[in-house]
Structure 1
Amino acid sequence: MTIRRIDSSAGLVSLSKRDVLSLAGRPGTRIESRQGGLWVTQDGDPRDVVLACGEACVLDRDGPVLVQALEPALVMVERPAKQAARAPGLWQRLTQAAFSA
């Protein structure tokens, strides 16, 4: 059994039977089986998910995630786009204008 770790990048990962992929999960991360069966476990989530080829799951929380290949598998990990910084709201703009004048 081999354990592989993905830190931040997304992509396609090839796993042999019983290999484990470890990643830092965050909401919106999509895990898809492109080939083979996968067992997905997320820390703090009582549900485990088993994916067949062509199936996917989307994470709904932060925390460590383990993806184990039940057979030789290809796993696609897609991270959500980082949210752009929010523009200041009306109240913040008015407050800044009042105190900067």
Structure 2
Amino acid sequence: MSNFNSLPNSISHKQLNSLLAKARKQPLSSHDSISLSSKEQESFEELLVNWSSLSRKLLDELQRKHDYIVEGKKPQAIMALGALAAHLNMAIQARNASNLE
């Protein structure tokens, strides 16, 4: 377990991009692509589409800043909703990026 102590607490966007650029692309082997049936793949894609649509609806609702969303909530809870919105946006961007390759 002590081997993990050398992990950094944070990484900059520049460092992350540098690591990504240096990373080797690993093509899918034919065995991997055969193991996942087309029905399973379609089901997974449908789940992603549904998740993306629902996430966008949730983000739209959060961006409208309706009173009922923040009414009676503590400042920390409101900040947590902001963090949720940020993470949903990042997740949608990651999903879109995964569709490019």
Q: Name the TM-score class by shorter chain.
A: under 0.3
- Normalized against structure 2, the TM-score is what? 0.20
Q: Which has the higher helix share?
A: 2
- Normalized against structure 1, the TM-score is what? 0.20
- Higher relative contact order by CA 8 Å / sep ≥ 6: 1 or 2? 1
